[in-house]
Amino acid sequence: MRNREVHTEIEIDAPPARVWAVLTDFSRYGQWNPFIREIRGAARPGEVLSVTVQPHGTDPMVFRTRVTQAAPAGELAWVGRLPVPGLLSGEHSFMVAPAGDGRRSRFIQHENFSGLLLPLFGADVEDATRRGFEAMNAALKAEAERDA
């Protein structure tokens, strides 16, 4: 079975705890996040989330995911799948790591897609996903730096 990955990174002029606080305050996503417009649920392992994404120029899409990792100021990860096992799944992670002297952060966003429907996942969808990640990264940077 083939996989496809989308990976982005950005440096943020705010400490990891501040970046983590913005990242996990799901109630405010609609105010600053241009890609993930809404998340319902909590950043706790085992929690089921309802995640609404809206890549630029598309209609919103809602996914149900399960949190697999939630380590404060470290990593938030979830897995989302289509209802029929093996068709298409995505393992999404957000990593927050100290950069430099710890007053800065490196934010890494990564998704690994797999499944039988992956060949239908064309380059345009992959590009839209990457652009969405980059837009979210830039918005997270601006939001975290605003009050840092």
Q: What pLDDT does residue 115 have?
A: 85
pLDDT band per the 50, 70, 90 thresholds, residue 56 = confident
In this prediction, residue 1 has a pLDDT band, given cuts at 50, 70 and 90, of low
pLDDT in tens, 108-119: 999 998 888 877
Determine the structural domain holding residue 38 and report its residue range.
3-146
Q: Using one digit for the tens of pLDDT, what is the confidence trace for 92-107?
A: 999 999 998 889 999 9
Going by their DSSP bridges, the two strands 36-40 and 3-12 should be labelled as unpaired
Number of domains in the chain: 1
Residue 50, domain CATH: 3.30.530.20
* Tokens encoding 46: 């085992």
